[in-house]
Homo-oligomer: A and B are copies of this chain.
Amino acid sequence: MDPAAPCLVGVDYFPEHWPEERWAEDVRLMREAGMRVVRIAEFTWSKTQPRYGVWDWAWLDRAVETIAGAGLKLILCTPTACPPPWMVQEYPDILPVTTQGRPMTLGQRRHYSPLHAGYREACREIAEQLALRYGSHPEVIGFQIDNELHGTIEDVGPLAQAAFHRWLKARHGTLEALDRNLGLVFWSQQYSNWSQIPVPASASHHPGLRAEWCRFVSQAWTAFCRVQADAMRPHIADRVLTTNCYLHRWGMEIDWHELMREGGLDLFAFDNYSNALHENGYYSDLARSLSTPHWILEQRCGDTRHHHIWPEPEVPLEELTEAAARAGAKVITYFRWRQGLFGHEQDHGAVLDHHGRPGRMYGRVSDAIARVAAAEPIDPPQPSTGIVFTWPDAWLSSSSPNSLHYRDLILENAYRGVFEREGSGRFVLEPGQLEGLRTVLVAGKLIHDPDWEVALIDFARGGGTLVAFPMLFAKDAFNKYRPEYLTPALREVFGIEIERRILVREGHAVTAELEGAPLLLHTRVEELVPASAEVLGRFSDGPLAGLPWITRCRTGKGSAVYAAGYPDADGMRAVLDRVAVRGD
């Protein structure tokens, strides 16, 4: 897609929920609101393939033509987030098995294991059919695979277990290596046969095995996505292949960066149900770090099922839409066109109310679209501050008895500070992405990796301001602590040694000062011994009162700051004011 292209705003539509005689009226109202694109066909498997071997595309043909006929573009979804009942009857073992030992029941969604070969084949087939049928349609601009991939993290069934065993064997080679890598001698967990290894489906399992499980699950989803992408690719010419990712809490299950590399997709797309400005910024900036351009395939308007109901302040819909477009989204589709009359989401807000008459929300959406259309084309932001972000670090954190709450740390502490100070930030997802930044924040970066270490040191020496926070490189990739707290190279760059790491209980904080102003530190604090570094601030209370909490060391053309505690967003701004602005 041309990055200079205008942003297409539209809507998610479920024609199968409404009488066909209503379709023309719906499409007319969409046009009148200024909409340009419509996403359809999600969750329609039982309609398109009502039985094994029986296909019914005619209804979808008519829907596509009605929409296209009105001059609207289309995005079509594969329906694989909801296997139809007949398929579950055919393959009962596609159902994940919950930690209670029961297969998921029908009646919800996402009731399948991405590891089931038969299910993958059925998905491949319907995805290919969809691509064959609509892949050359002139108004179809792209395809969404599945919906909000995730969910195997708690599957303890035999399918998941056996696949995990194969994956572990391929990765570690021998049981001896597995034992050594993970530290299974703890509590006598040395396995003498791969088949003995349990599914570590809850976070209270062995931290090493649990972290491996997280990696395995993420890769399973990437592979699942890839099957559909490969089936569709030959038949869709230059149309876009994507999937609507969810960046919310449980969106941490999947390494979206790996998915973008390995999943066979063209661009990153996400669903946005946030009501907070900084969280919207986080989504946009993360999306932009993942691909250019990006799409928003579900943009909330109105209530959701349980949330965003009065008295929560109403989402400034127009503002959020405009900000998203300015931040580089090239497609934004509101979820959803009209409140559903039936099903689990029957109370979900929409552009139209149940009655189907244009009302207040229709008017606001029309305004938002007009504002986007009228906006001057501007270049997307070029942030000068980077935030290191990796999913494996999040998995290690959540697999430990004392989680760092990685996502909160990144979103509410680090990113929010940057966002409120600078309007946007750039996520650094791999060591090679530091170029062009002036400051980089390294928070919750648990896993030591020589490439990261070298890149960060080079960044500082090359003139950047490197700002590191507690637990830097504290562990290896298998969630084992490293006995070496800072490597010799890092000790030199930061000009300090770390003597002790201290847990701060959730909901509590330690006070520290920076240029006389107090700030609060959470999660972890560390005892520093400065060598060549200058002390910028000290702990005011807590177990380290009076000791330095933040130091800076000039190195090469830049500097390396070590902050021995996690400030909240306000404190993060203060740190940046002190070390980034003046330091630059």
The chain A residues found within 8 Å of chain B, CB to CB, are 16-17, 43-47, 50-51, 79, 82-86, 88-89, 100-102, 105-109, 156, 182-193, 195-200, 204-209, 303, 305-306, 309-312, 314, 339-347, 353-356, 359-360, 400-402, 478-485, 499-505, 508, 510, 525, 542-543
Q: Could you list 21 A-B pairs, sorted by A, with CB under 8 Å?
A: A17-B186, A43-B187, A46-B185, A47-B188, A50-B190, A82-B187, A84-B188, A101-B101, A107-B198, A107-B200, A107-B205, A108-B205, A187-B344, A206-B343, A207-B342, A207-B343, A309-B402, A310-B508, A353-B500, A354-B482, A359-B499
From known contacts A43-B187, A481-B346, A484-B355, infer whether A108 and B204 are also in contact, taking CB-CB under 8 Å.
yes
Min CB–CB distance A477 → chain B (angstroms):
12
Whether the pair A85, B303 counts as a contact (CB closer than 8 A) is no
Min CB–CB distance A280 → chain B (angstroms):
22
* Cα distance, A481 to B347, chains bound together (Å): 9
- Stoichiometry, as copies per complex, reads 3
Minimum CB distance partner of A191 in chain B: B85
Chain B residue contacts of A105, Cβ below 8 A: 156, 198-199
**4 shortest A-B CB distances, which residue pairs?**
A183-B342, A186-B343, A82-B188, A46-B190
User: Which of B342, B402, B484 meets A305, CB within 8 Å?
Assistant: B402
Whether the pair A340, B505 counts as a contact (CB closer than 8 A) is no
Whether the pair B346, A84 counts as a contact (CB closer than 8 A) is no
* Cα distance, A484 to B354, chains bound together (Å): 8
Min CB–CB distance A357 → chain B (angstroms):
8
Chain B residue contacts of A195, Cβ below 8 A: 89
Min CB–CB distance A566 → chain B (angstroms):
13
* Cα distance, A341 to B401, chains bound together (Å): 13
Whether the pair A401, B305 counts as a contact (CB closer than 8 A) is yes
* Cα distance, A344 to B484, chains bound together (Å): 20
Whether the pair A79, B188 counts as a contact (CB closer than 8 A) is yes
Whether the pair B310, A479 counts as a contact (CB closer than 8 A) is no
Min CB–CB distance A508 → chain B (angstroms):
5
User: Which of B347, B485, B501 meets A401, CB within 8 Å?
Assistant: B347
From known contacts A43-B186, A108-B187, infer whether A480 and B306 are also in contact, taking CB-CB under 8 Å.
no
